[in-house]
Each structure stands twice: as structure tokens, then as C-alpha cells.
């Protein structure tokens, strides 16, 4: 495995590598969800590039940034188990941003103004800044992102199209624990009891899916809200079914089986999100 700390040395190295190049941007603390993206990048490309960088501009909360799990040695070990030919980029913030660590401003077509965008100010501008920087700098042919962060995936697809970047963005299915909990780096912060409670997000989504053809959306929504009323420490933040491309919430009077369900909840200070195709 070759590990690069600077984009300059990496760009030079990539010019000798065979295309297609598949990139998986990550913030480390790798889990099975990331590993499935990395495996796919290895299978579908001649060269696989993984970045590990906790991007400060996408955190609206300093404590969340400070608490973000870091485990670089274990990350490198897991990557090495997939293949020793993978290229890993592990920069410091100044290699990505220079001296001023701040987001650029992008028109994200309003996709950044709902759900996670509404709750986490500036989050998607930070994501768009770092991802477009990587795609422009390394010009991968393919870039892989998990559907767990479906809103992020749509926003990255949107910005890649509008900036006419040559990279094809590929969305990959959410990987789940056996109880349905979507894999996430933040799960490491959950106790066994909290993991059991956190799996209620997926339970809520599958329950919603099971009734979307039977009752109008307004009823689905109120039944899901009721389902979360008695889940002790788990506090529902939102549940919505939206058009899967525009993220506009569907009409309350209509049936919602063609939409995508999105859910967010707090377990103590930890924010959990999940989503599911309702069809
Ligand atoms: O999904 C993530 O881990 C991050 O948002 C990403 C895409 C690596 C950008 O920092």
C-alpha cells in the first residue's frame, strides 16, 4: 500500500498509474460500509484511491468534530486486507485548504436547504468544497459514496454535473448490522443498549414502507411519529417521504410508495440518520 500525505506527490504519482481510477473519499474510522465501497472501487478500476480526511468545514459543531472517531492504523490495516495496491491519501488540513480553512460557496440547487442541510448549517457547503477539491485535483474516473448519506450523494451528483467534472459518481447500497442499524463511523460511540435503540430508525422506515400503499402519506407520517413516541431516550427529529431526486416532501394526501423515506433522531447527543426506498 502506498500512503501519500500531500496532493502534489500524489498527483505526480497518479500520472503514472493506469486508468480508470476509482476514488473513495472517507473520514476514516472505516467500517463494513466503507469497505464495501473500497472493494467495489478495486473491482471496477485499475487503480483505487482512498482518502482519509476529517474535513473540518463540514462540522457545524466543534464538539462533534473533536469527538469524531480516529483510528488511522486500523484503517490502514483494513485497507491492506482488501489489497496492497490501494493508494491512500491522508492529508493534513493545510494540504487541502492552504492556510485558510473555509468552505467555498456552491449553488446546490436547494438540495442543501432541507433535512440535514436545515439542521446542520453549512454542512453540505463543506462537503461540496472538499469533494469537488478532491475530484478536480485527482480527476478520478469514478467516485463511490454510500446511500446511507443519500442527501449527500444527491448533492455530490448535482455539483459534479453542474461543474461538468469528468468523474462519474456512483451510489452504493447501505450496509447494515444484523439488527438493521445502518453502519456509520459514529456507531462506535454507541453502547450495546443504544445500538439496539438506534436500530429503531430502520424499524420505523420498514414499518412506513409496509403501509405506504395502504394509507395516504399523512397517515403514514402520523403512525411513524406515534411509533417513536415511546422509544425512551431516542428522540425523533424528523421523518419525511420525499421525491428521490428533488427531495421535495410529497403531497400529504397522496400515497407515498414511490418516494424515499428519510429519518433522523437523537440518542443523547448523537445524531442518527437513515433512509429507505419506499417502493
Ligand atoms: O461521507 C463522508 O465521510 C464525508 O462527508 C466525505 C464524503 C468523505 C467528505 O468529507
- 159 Cβ inside 6 Å of ligand 1: no
HSE-up (13 A, CA, CB side) for residue 105: 0
pLDDT digits (tens, 9 = 90+) for 59-73: 999 999 999 999 999
What residues act catalytically? 34
Separation in Å, CA 18 to CA 3, 22, 47, 95? 17, 11, 6, 24
- 26 Cβ inside 6 Å of ligand 1: yes
pLDDT digits (tens, 9 = 90+) for 30-47: 999 999 999 999 999 999
pTM > 0.85: yes
Q: Which residue has the cell 448519506?
A: 149
Pairing of the two strands 260-267 and 234-242: antiparallel
CA–CA dist 208, 216 (Å, integer): 11
Q: Where are the beta strands (DSSP E) in 160-227?
A: 168-172
What residue owns the CA closest to ligand 1's atom 5? 127
Tens-binned pLDDT, residue by residue, of the chain (279 aa): 999 999 999 999 999 999 999 999 999 999 999 999 999 999 999 999 999 999 999 999 999 999 999 999 999 999 999 999 999 999 999 999 999 999 999 999 999 999 999 999 999 999 999 999 999 999 999 999 999 999 999 999 999 999 999 999 999 999 999 999 999 999 999 999 999 999 999 999 999 999 999 999 999 999 999 999 988 899 999 999 999 999 999 999 999 999 999 999 999 889 999 999 999
Which residue, among 133, 140, 168, has the nearest Cα to 47 in the 3D structure? 140
Report the chain's C-alpha Rg in angstroms.
19
Domain ranges of the chain: 2-172, 185-277
Choose which residue among 52, 103, 130, 172 to substitute to test ligand 1 binding: the one with the highest number of ligand atoms within 8 A of its C-beta: 130
- 27 Cβ inside 6 Å of ligand 1: yes
What is the DSSP-derived secondary structure letter of residue 71? -
Q: Please enumerate in sequence order all residues whose Cβ is within 8 A of that of 19, keeping only pairs 6 or more positions apart, or say none.
A: 45, 46, 47, 141
CA–CA dist 5, 177 (Å, integer): 33
Q: How far is the CA of 216 from the centre of ligand 1 (A)?
A: 35
pLDDT of residue 230: 81
**Residue 274 dihedral angles phi and psi, to the nearest 5°:** -160, 170
pLDDT of residue 142: 99
CA–CA dist 89, 227 (Å, integer): 43
Pairs from 180-186 (Cβ < 8 Å, separation ≥ 24)? 180/206, 182/33, 182/148, 182/274, 183/31, 183/32, 183/33, 183/148, 184/31, 184/33, 184/148, 184/272, 185/27, 185/28, 185/29, 185/30, 185/31, 185/68, 185/69, 186/68, 186/69, 186/270, 186/271, 186/272
CATH architecture label of 185-277: 2-Layer Sandwich (3.30)
Query: Is the separation of the CB atoms in 103 and 55 below 8 Å?
Result: no
pLDDT of residue 232: 81
- Other beta carbons less than 10 A from residue 171's beta carbon: 17
Which residue, among 169, 101, 172, 163, has the nearest Cα to 130 in the 3D structure? 101
Choose which residue among 69, 152, 185 to substitute to test ligand 1 binding: the one with the highest number of ligand atoms within 8 A of its C-beta: 152
CATH architecture label of 2-172: 3-Layer(aba) Sandwich (3.40)
Amino acid at each position: 500500500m502506498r500512503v501519500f500525505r500531500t496532493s502534489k506527490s500524489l498527483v505526480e504519482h497518479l500520472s503514472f498509474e493506469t486508468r480508470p481510477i476509482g476514488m473513495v473519499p472517507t473520514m476514516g474510522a472505516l467500517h463494513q460500509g466503507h469497505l464495501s465501497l473500497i472493494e467495489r472501487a478495486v473491482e471496477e478500476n485499475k487503480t483505487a484511491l482512498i482518502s482519509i480526511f476529517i474535513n473540518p468545514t463540514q462540522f457545524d459543531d466543534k464538539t462533534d468534530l473533536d469527538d469524531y472517531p480516529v483510528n488511522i492504523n486500523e484503517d490502514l490495516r483494513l485497507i491492506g486486507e482488501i489489497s496492497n495496491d490501494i493508494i491512500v491519501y491522508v492529508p493534513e488540513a493545510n494540504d487541502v485548504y492552504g492556510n485558510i480553512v473555509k468552505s467555498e460557496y456552491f449553488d446546490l440547487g436547494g438540495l442543501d436547504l432541507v433535512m440535514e442541510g436545515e439542521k446542520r448549517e453549512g454542512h453540505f457547503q463543506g462537503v461540496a468544497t472538499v469533494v469537488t477539491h478532491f475530484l478536480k485535483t485527482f480527476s478520478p474516473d469514478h467516485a463511490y459514496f454510500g446511500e446511507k448519506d443519500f442527501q449527500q450523494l444527491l448533492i455530490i451528483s448535482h455539483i459534479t454535473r453542474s461543474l461538468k467534472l469528468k468523474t462519474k459518481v456512483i451510489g452504493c447500497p447501505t450496509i447494515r448490522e444484523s439488527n438493521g442499524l445502518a453502519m456509520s463511523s459514529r456507531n462506535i460511540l454507541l453502547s450495546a443498549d443504544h445500538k439496539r435503540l438506534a436500530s429503531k430508525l430502520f424499524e420505523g422506515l420498514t414499518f412506513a414502507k409496509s403501509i405506504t400503499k395502504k394509507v395516504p402519506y399523512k397517515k403514514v407520517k402520523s403512525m411513524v411519529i406515534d411509533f417513536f413516541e415511546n422509544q425512551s431516550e431516542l428522540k425523533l427529529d424528523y421523518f419525511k417521504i420525499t421525491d428521490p431526486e428533488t427531495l421535495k416532501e410529497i403531497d400529504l394526501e397522496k400515497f407515498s410508495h414511490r418516494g424515499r423515506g428519510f429519518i433522523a433522531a437523537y440518542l443523547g447527543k448523537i445524531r442518527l440518520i437513515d433512509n429507505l426506498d419506499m417502493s
